[in-house]
């Protein structure tokens, strides 16, 4: 039986091995992905991002517990932690907070090093999610590195993105900067038993209201009614949830918000739009890779390296080098006709 067949039958060791092959971007891994693709598209991908120390891993732990208690759905967790830019090594420590999940066959946790990617997830995180999807995991939670403001890659991958904040981590200017708050579908203020939680909530709420005018505003502490434009029907306004992940308070509400968001995605057509955008960018990236490989193969021996050398010595700009290389491409024999799948 092939590895993919074993994975489809629910073999956990086969699944784990396949995840490694896919993570390493090996030819076997890519072949398996192609084979499994027709089995994907069923899972709900939930991204969890936020600054380091806001409690993402503990929150994920509680979310999984709750999902397992509620309706026995199989849950996969992909926890991404940073690789060292110097040695390529990594310490992946998200499992430390997820020990409550061990011993449950319906849960599969996989730690992943970012391996040089900067968007908060690794290059092959999306592919790993596809494998879990094909293997029948209905909920896939992806926890990002957690480096903060530029972690927007996750929004492209996940259907629902949770942004986790904690009291005492910055003011309302942080909250209106572009980036992490913009991608939030659901906001979570974790560690809600800490002082300053009202402050954080107010900052988040007011930054959300800057984007979507409301009819009641607070001015010098007074509630005032103002004329506001009604938001167009069927817009999603990110709800703010308060949680204490160490004891599970507020988790049920977060699950509810996620379910509501799912409902919204389905009814508004956004689900299809997101799926299409995601698959489009994935296909485009692969086309780019393929063309690049073909292009390099088509060049005369050493042409690329010698052009690079001239760029290194600053006698040729990268733009000129690219143009030059495009012109020196060997006349191609009529493109090898690829077999139709």
Partner 1 sequence: MSEHTIRVLVAKPGLDGHDRGAKVVARALRDAGMEVIYTGLRQTPEMIAEAALQEDVDVVGLSILSGAHMALAPRIMELLKANGQDQVKVFMGGIIPDEDMPRLKAMGITGIYGPGASTEEIVKEIREATKS
Q: Which residues contribute to the site for partner 1 (CB under 8 A)?
A: 12-13, 16-17, 19-20, 24-25, 83-84, 87-93, 95-96, 99, 102-103, 108-111, 113, 115
CB of 72 to partner 1, least distance (A): 19
CB of 17 to partner 1, least distance (A): 6
- 67 vs 108 by CB, closer to partner 1: 108
Q: Sign of the CA dihedral 156, 265, 243, 139?
A: negative
Instruction: Identify the bridge partners of residue 241 per DSSP, sorted by sequence position.
Output: 188
Instruction: Show the tokens assigned to 264.
Output: 């919204």
- 90 vs 240 by CB, closer to partner 1: 90
Query: Whose CA is closest to 80, among 128, 42, 41, 32?
Result: 128
**CA–CA gap between residue 176 and residue 189 (Å, rounded):** 16
Contact 24, 53 (CB under 8 A): no
Q: Phi and psi for 134 in degrees, rounded to 5?
A: -65, -35
Instruction: Show the tokens assigned to 159.
Output: 């259907």
CB of 94 to partner 1, least distance (A): 9
- 111 vs 268 by CB, closer to partner 1: 111
| DSSP structural state of residue 111 | E
Distances (CA, A) of 24 to 19, 21, 42, 269: 9, 5, 25, 35
- 103 vs 232 by CB, closer to partner 1: 103
108 in helix, strand or coil? strand
- 198 vs 289 by CB, closer to partner 1: 289
CB of 81 to partner 1, least distance (A): 9
CB of 58 to partner 1, least distance (A): 13
Instruction: Show the tokens assigned to 279.
Output: 């698959």
Query: Whose CA is closest to 181, among 51, 291, 58?
Result: 51
CB of 122 to partner 1, least distance (A): 10
- 16 vs 317 by CB, closer to partner 1: 16
């Amino acid at each position: 039986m092939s590895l993919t067949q074993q994975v489809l039958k629910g073999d956990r060791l086969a699944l784990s091995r396949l995840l490694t092959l896919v993570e390493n971007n090996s030819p076997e891994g890519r072949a398996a992905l192609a084979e499994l693709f027709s089995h994907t598209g069923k899972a709900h991908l939930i991204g969890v991002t936020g600054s380091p120390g806001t409690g993402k891993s503990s929150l994920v732990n509680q979310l999984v517990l709750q999902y397992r208690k509620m309706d026995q759905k199989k849950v996969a967790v992909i926890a991404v932690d940073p690789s060292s830019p110097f040695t390529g090594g990594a310490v992946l420590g998200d499992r430390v907070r997820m020990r409550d999940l061990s011993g449950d066959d319906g849960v599969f946790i996989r730690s992943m090093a970012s391996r040089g990617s900067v968007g908060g997830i690794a290059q092959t995180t999306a592919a790993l999610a596809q494998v879990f999807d094909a293997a029948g995991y209905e909920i896939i939670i992806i926890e990002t590195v957690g480096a903060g403001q530029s972690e927007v890659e996750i929004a492209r991958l996940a259907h629902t993105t949770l942004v986790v904040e904690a009291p005492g981590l910055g003011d309302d200017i942080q909250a209106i900067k572009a980036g992490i708050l913009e991608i939030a579908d659901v906001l979570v203020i974790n560690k809600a038993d800490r002082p300053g939680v009202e402050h954080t909530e107010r900052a988040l709420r007011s930054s959300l209201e800057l984007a979507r005018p409301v009819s009641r505003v607070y001015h010098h502490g007074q509630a005032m009614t103002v004329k506001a434009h009604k938001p167009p029907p069927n817009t999603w306004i990110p709800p703010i949830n308060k949680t204490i992940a160490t004891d599970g308070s507020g988790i049920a509400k977060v699950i509810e918000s996620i379910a509501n968001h799912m409902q919204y995605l389905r009814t508004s057509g956004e689900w299809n739009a997101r799926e299409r955008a995601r698959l489009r960018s994935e296909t485009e990236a692969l086309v780019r890779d393929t063309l690049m490989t073909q292009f390099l193969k088509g060049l005369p021996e050493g042409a690329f390296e010698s052009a690079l050398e001239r760029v290194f010595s600053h006698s040729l700009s990268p733009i000129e080098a690219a143009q030059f290389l495009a012109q020196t491409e060997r006349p191609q024999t009529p493109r090898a006709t690829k077999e139709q799948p």
